[in-house]
Amino acid sequence: MGIVRNIAAIAKGMSVTFREMFNPTIVENYPDGPGPTRGAMFQERFRGMHVLQRDESGLEKCVACFLCAAACPSNCIYIEAAENTAEKRVSGAERYAKVYNIDYNRCIFCGYCVEACPTDAITHGHGFELATYNASSLIYRKEQLLAGTPAHEGANAIFSQYENARLVPNK
């Protein structure tokens, strides 16, 4: 009986193999494929490189509350807070993140920071091309994580003032 059971198990396993042999082969033609992802395919829920979001007026949503850093199990978020002033308003609240770094050497893309954020300032984007030979380049700065400036940026005098003063251009 044991032999019959073993043969049945092998036949069952091989049936999967033979079935797959006649299915069309689907491969991702990355990095030579079309589109912005160069042929890579991923699900909407894919957790890629973070994005620091802006509100509809172009101000940064991050209010430097440090909750994301506290929730991070890898201790890879570094924030320095600063006060908004009448002359230089960066976020809609009292404070903003003057420095916001994420160390992708340590990040495990768990999403806890996204869950912890009370203002939806930090989200996972779909960026995935993080591989590098230089570990120090895996520490991403706020300027690399910030969402693109809104189309009406030029109309917002305060926002533009801040943008013009930035040392590192937005990616």
The first and second tokens of residue 79, run together, are 């924030």
3 state DSSP class of 72: coil
**Binding span for ligand SF4 by CB under 6 A among 25-33, 56-64, 137-145, 161-169:** 56-64
Residue 121: other Cβ atoms inside 10 A: 27
Contact letters for ligand SF4, residues 107-126 (x by CB under 6 A): xxxxxxx--xx-x-xx----
Shorter beta-carbon distance to ligand SF4: residue 59 or 72:
72
Q: How far is the CB of 32 from ligand SF4 (least distance, A)?
A: 30
Closest by Cα among 102, 62, 101, 67 to 82 = 62
3 state DSSP class of 99: strand
Shorter beta-carbon distance to ligand SF4: residue 111 or 150:
111
Q: Applying CB under 6 A, which residues contact ligand SF4?
A: 62-68, 71-74, 76-77, 79, 97, 102, 107-113, 116-117, 119, 121-122
